[in-house]
Structure 1
């Protein structure tokens, strides 16, 4: 069980750290997606900070502070529920798989963290 927890959590950490960097760099796909769902570009650094904090919290959870890991996973689940909701609200379905994938990773990390 620990192996599954570690693998999924590391994947979730890398995915969220990567997208946080893309947000901060204002990558083209990030700007295009933000515009489609009606997200102001001024929010990108704040959203990147939340994703990076979630990744850091998951890393702390792996390092032996499970309460922080569980809190980070919960925060990421809530964050990506909001992202999926923003896509649905804006009727942008062609790329909803991306926030859905991040949501699935966060939910799996939360489930495995709680099961530890």
Structure 2
């Protein structure tokens, strides 16, 4: 079970860091998408920090379970919020990846709790 947790954590952390990096570059695609979703530019630093903290917490949670569970719950809330923002503006295509990442975050919670 721990191997499944470690693999899921590694994949999620890599995706989070890639996403945070893309947001920090503020490419036209990212800024247009955030504008469409109604996310103010001043929130970008918070979103980047949340993703980096989630990745770091998930990895550190491999050694200290309460931190991993807390990070995974935070990521679940983060991505559930992303789904809500996409659906609010009728962007079902953009909601799908966020929904998959929400499910992966829930899987992190379950896997970490199962390996206590």
TM-score (structure 1 length as normaliser):
0.92
SS of equivalent to 1:95: helix
Q: CA deviation at 1:45?
A: 1.1
The yes-or-no answer on 1:84 pairing with 2:80 is no
Write out the 4+ residue segments of structure 1 that deviate beyond 4 Å after TM superposition.
Answer: none
Question: Match of 1:58?
Answer: 58
- CA deviations over 1:84-112 (Å, ceiling 9, x no partner): 01111111112212211221221111111
Within 2, Cα distance between the matches of 1:60 and 1:33? 31
* Residue equivalent to 1:14: 14
How many positions carry a matched residue from both structures?
115
In structure 1, what is the Cα distance between the partners aligned to 2:100 and 2:54? 15
Q: In 2, are the aligned partners of 1:36 and 1:92 still within 8 Å (CA)?
A: no
SS of the residue 2:61 aligns to:
helix
Hey, what's the Cα distance between the residues in 1 that align with 2:82 and 2:33?
11
1:14-61 residue CA offsets vs partner (Å, 9 max, x unmatched): 111111111111123321221221111221111110111000000101
The gaps in structure 2 that reach 5 residues or longer are: none
Q: How does 1:1-116 map to 2 (within 5 A)?
A: 1-62=1-62, 64-116=63-115
TM-score, normalised to structure 2's length? 0.92
Coordinate RMSD, CA, aligned: 1.1
